[in-house]
Amino acid sequence: MNTQKNTKETIDGVHERFNGAVTLRDLAGSQARYVQGSGKTRVTSLVTDSRRVVPGSAFFALPGLRTDGNEHLQEALDRGAKVIISGRDEIDLPLGVTGLKVDDPRLALAEFARRYHGTPDSVLRVVGITGTNGKTTVSTLTRHLMERPGRPVGLIGTVRYHLGDREIPSFKTTPESSDLFALLRGMLAAGCSEAVMEVSSHGIHQARVAGLGLEVAAFLNLTRDHLDYHGNMESYFREKRKIFNGANGSLPKIAVINGDCPYGRRLIEELPPQVQVLSFGLENDNHFRAKNLSLQSGGSEFILEAPAGTMVVTSPLIGSYNVMNVLASFAILHALGHSVPDAVRKVGAFEGVDGRMETVEGGQSYQVVVDYAHTPDALRNALGMLRECTEGKLHLVFGCGGDRDKGKRLEMTKVACAGADKVWATADNPRTESQNDIFRDMRKGLSKGAKISFVEDRRRAISLALDAAQAKDIVLIAGKGHETFQEVQYTAIPFDDRLVAGELLAAKLLSA
C-alpha cells in the first residue's frame, strides 16, 4: 500500500469537505428517519455536550447513567443547534431545526463521526489495545518502539494524546467517537501513518469505537474491575471480545493475545478463522515467549524467543508483569511488519510512563514509588514487582474508590495485607460515598494480625508511611498514579501523589 499517497488523498478530501459544511444526508444516508426537516441541512460540528454547541451543530441526545441528553435539548437549541439526533419517537422542535430519529444514538454518533472526519481509520494503521491492566504502558512503549525520525506515530490513551505534531492531556482513556475520529484525522494531517490507542470496556460498550477499523487488536489480560458497570466477569469479557470477533463492526487483521491468561486462551478459541493470532507469554506454546528472567531493581533481562529469532532483551521496566508488557509490544510491532531486533535494541531507551512505577527522589535513603495500580490484580503485580527487588521492608499506601464495585474492596485489602509489610489504607476518589463506609467494606478483607492503619487523609497517610521507612525499604503509593486530583462530592480537588510525596520528603529532609 502506498501509505504516503493514500494519506495525502484522504487529508485533501477531508480538507475539501471542511471548507464547506457537510450535509446531514452525507452523514445519515438515504434511509434516515426525519421527524422534521430534511437531509439538506448543513452541519458544522457533531456535539454530545449541549455546552459545546455552536451555530450549525448537530446535537446527539445520548442516554447516560446520571443524565440524558434529551434533558438538555433546549440549551442546545438556544446555542444554535440546527440538527437534533435522538432515540425518542417524539421530539418537540422549533421550525428551522431538523430532527432525526435513530435506534441507537451512540451508534449513530460513531457512524456519523467516522464519515464526517473522512474515515481516517481507512488509511491510518490503527492498533487497539485492551485489557484490565497494562494498556497505558503497552501503548506508550509500542509508540516509542514504532517511531522513527520523520515518521510520527499517534497515541490515544489514559495519560495523554499524541497527534504527531503536538501533545494534549487526555480527557478520557477512549474518547467519544466524535472526538476520537477528529483526533485520528488530526494525526493524518500531522503526517502519521500509524496510531496506537487504548480501548476500554466502557468505550466498547458505549459504541465509542463502533465501526473503527483496527489493523491489530491486542488483548493483555482480564481481571476483576468495573463490575459495578458490567455486572459480572462474563459480561466484562464479552465487551472486550467485541473488537476481536466483528461484533464491533469490523474484524482486525491480526489479534495479539496473552496466551497465559485463561480469558486470552478462551478468546483465541472463539476468534473467527480469518483473524491471524500472535500469542505472547511465559509458557512454551506462545509465539513470543520470555524465558530465563533476571529481575532487578533497575529493570529486567530475559531471553526472547520469537518468529524473528532468539534475542537477549534488557528492559528498564521492573518486574515479571512488565516483561509481559514488553512481549505484547514486540508482538504488536511484528504484526505491523516492524523489525523486532530493532525494537529489542531500542527498548532500553524507554523512559517509562507517568504514574506507572514512577520513582520520587528527595534525597531519602529508601525508595518511593507511585503507581496507578487500582485493581486487586494490578496491586498484586505491583507489590510482587517491588518485593522482587526490595532488600528491606515494603510499605504500602492505597485506597478504594467510591461509587464503584464494592466487592473488590475486601479483595484489595487482602492483597495489600498479604503483599506489604505495613499498610496505610486511605482515601482514593471517594466521590459521593462516605470514607467510613468505604473503610467498612475494606475491613472485611482483613486477616488476623494484619499490620494496617486506616487514615482518612491521604496526605497524612503518605507522611506516616514515609516516616516509617528505613534505608533500603520501598514505599509504594498506589491507586492514583498520574492523576492530579481527588474526586469528592462531584468536585475535583487538586492532589498529585508525586508532588505530595516530593513535598513531604523535602520537608522531612529539612527537619532532619
Counts of helices then strands in the chain (DSSP H, E): 17, 26
Residue 472 lies in a domain: yes
pLDDT at 446: 94
Residue 436: all three cell numbers together: 467510613
Residue 127 lies in a domain: yes
pLDDT at 3: 41
Beta bridge partners of 304: 290, 311
pLDDT at 210: 95
Cβ–Cβ < 8 Å for 261, 221? yes
Proportion of the chain above pLDDT 70, given as a percent: 94
In CATH, what number is assigned to the domain containing residue 74? Answer: 3.40.1390.10
91: confidence class by pLDDT, cuts 50, 70, 90 = confident
- Please tell me the distance from the alpha carbon of residue 479 to that of residue 400, in angstroms, as a whole number: 8
Residue 508 has pLDDT above 60, yes or no: yes
Residue-wise burial string across 328-358, b where 16 or more C-beta atoms lie within 10 A, e elsewhere: bbbbbbbbbebebeebbebbeebebbbbbbb
Q: Of 321, 349, 377, which one is at a domain's C-terminal end?
A: 349
pLDDT at 30: 65
Q: CA-based diameter of the chain, in Å? A: 75
Work out the average pLDDT over 314-332.
94
Cα 7 from chain centroid? 26
Give the C-alpha distances (Å, rounded to integers) separating 309 from 87, 305, 323, 342. 54, 6, 18, 12
Residue 197 lies in a domain: yes
Residue 58 has pLDDT above 50, yes or no: yes
Work out the average pLDDT over 284-293.
96
Segment among 52-56, 67-71, 82-86 with least mean pLDDT: 67-71
Residue-wise burial string across 14-44, b where 16 or more C-beta atoms lie within 10 A, e elsewhere: beeeeeeebebeebbeeebeebbbebebebb
Residues of the domain holding 297? 117-349
More confident residue, 21 or 461: 461
65: confidence class by pLDDT, cuts 50, 70, 90 = low
More confident residue, 202 or 14: 202
Proportion of the chain above pLDDT 90, given as a percent: 77
Residue 109 lies in a domain: no
Residue 7 lies in a domain: no
Regarding whether 320 and 235 lie in a shared domain, the answer is yes
pLDDT at 313: 97
In tens, the pLDDT along 151-171 reads 999 999 998 999 998 999 888
344: confidence class by pLDDT, cuts 50, 70, 90 = very high
Q: Of 288, 317, 349, which one is at a domain's C-terminal end?
A: 349
Give the C-alpha distances (Å, rounded to integers) separating 203 from 107, 180, 200, 432. 12, 11, 5, 23
Regarding whether 366 and 301 lie in a shared domain, the answer is no
Closest CA to 441 of 479, 413, 480: 413
Cβ–Cβ < 8 Å for 95, 112? no
- Please tell me the distance from the alpha carbon of residue 16 to that of residue 207, in angstroms, as a whole number: 28
Residue 66 has pLDDT above 80, yes or no: no
In tens, the pLDDT along 221-262 reads 998 777 667 679 899 999 999 999 999 999 999 999 999 999
In CATH, what number is assigned to the domain containing residue 200? Answer: 3.40.1190.10
pLDDT at 108: 94
